[in-house]
Amino acid sequence: MDTPGRPDHPHPMLRIRHTVALAPVPRPWLIDALEVIRTQVEQTEADGKRLLLPDGRPLKDVRLAEGRHLRPGAVYVVGEPDDATAEKDGTRTRTAAEVEPAATARNAPVRITIGQWDRRRAVRLEVSLTDADTHVTADIALTSPDRPRLVEARGRVRTAGGAARGRARVRLDDWWSAAEGGRTSPTAPATARLDHRLLRAELRAAPRPGPDGESWQAHITISLRGRSLLRPLAAVVLAVTGRWTRRAILRELDNSAERWNTTVPSLTAMDAEHLRRALSSGAR
């Protein structure tokens, strides 16, 4: 049995170090953006299962399935077709149950459960998604939303081929201190771990100011270890596929950084009013 909080093996079977350049997320912008999102959500009202914006327009593809709006235990379903979809079958409107199963799988609804909603202490959400052969659950917590300090997530993925569980943690104060001023902390401000029956993957990331003084440079270390009695098998697999695995991980890190650098600048360029309009555009 694995000992919680301790590695399965004193030395990783594979260790990868890589540095990527990232577009920055300024601390003031994130604080303002979270305030806009929180205010927008809190200004919605529940009308039965519908959620209405302050101007009375209903939110599209979001419904309150259980509980009281924004109270612990409230369950929301995002992306589920209405009782009657817009798709027609002759002169009769087809119900959601009659929609082509493949189309439903491609647009699997997401269930969001409120664990805590407190602007000063924390916002905690439980998220789950199920499609034809995959079930994903995650618990996400943001500590002190008014002055975000810590983001934590735990989750599990179950497929026909097996299951894996993971967790991630970002200490935002330490991240910004290192990214903006180069001040380091004893431990990496961003960490993640993924456990599979064969392997444990651990990620640590620490930022530094970029050479241009504006971007971030994230120094990433990934370690792969075998788990429990399956360590010998994992060692054989990594010995055979190690070079391919390293290339694949480096390619995914670079692709993720590219996606970040494509998306983030357009978001951080939006002021509070643009964010409000973008959020309101989800109405019918």
Within-domain flag for 72: yes
Within-domain flag for 216: yes
Burial of 67 (0-12, 13-18, 19+ CB in 10 A): middle
Predicted pLDDT at 197: 83
Which structural domain, as residue segments, surrounds residue 259?
A: 14-279
Other beta carbons less than 10 A from residue 68's beta carbon = 11
Within-domain flag for 4: no
Overall average pLDDT of the 72-93 stretch = 63
Which residue's entry shows tokens 């914006």?
53
Overall average pLDDT of the 149-173 stretch = 95
Within-domain flag for 257: yes
Residue type, 185: S
Instruction: Answer with the residue of higher pLDDT: 213 or 173.
Output: 173
Residue type, 56: G
Position 3 confidence tier, pLDDT thresholds 50, 70, 90: very low
Predicted pLDDT at 257: 97
Within-domain flag for 107: yes
* CA–CA gap between residue 134 and residue 128 (Å, rounded): 11
Cα 160–Cα 166–Cα 172 angle in degrees, nearest 5: 145
Position 41 confidence tier, pLDDT thresholds 50, 70, 90: very high
CB 22 within 8 A of CB 215: yes
Highest-scoring range by mean pLDDT, 91-95, 104-108, 140-144, 221-225: 140-144
Within-domain flag for 43: yes
Within-domain flag for 52: yes
Please list the residues that pair with 278 across neighbouring strands: none
Predicted pLDDT at 160: 84
Position 109 confidence tier, pLDDT thresholds 50, 70, 90: very high
Within-domain flag for 7: no
Number of domains in the chain: 1
* CA–CA gap between residue 191 and residue 269 (Å, rounded): 28
Question: 226-281: per-residue pLDDT in tens?
Answer: 766 556 665 666 665 668 888 999 999 999 999 999 999 999 999 999 998 888 87
Q: What is the pTM of this model?
A: 0.81
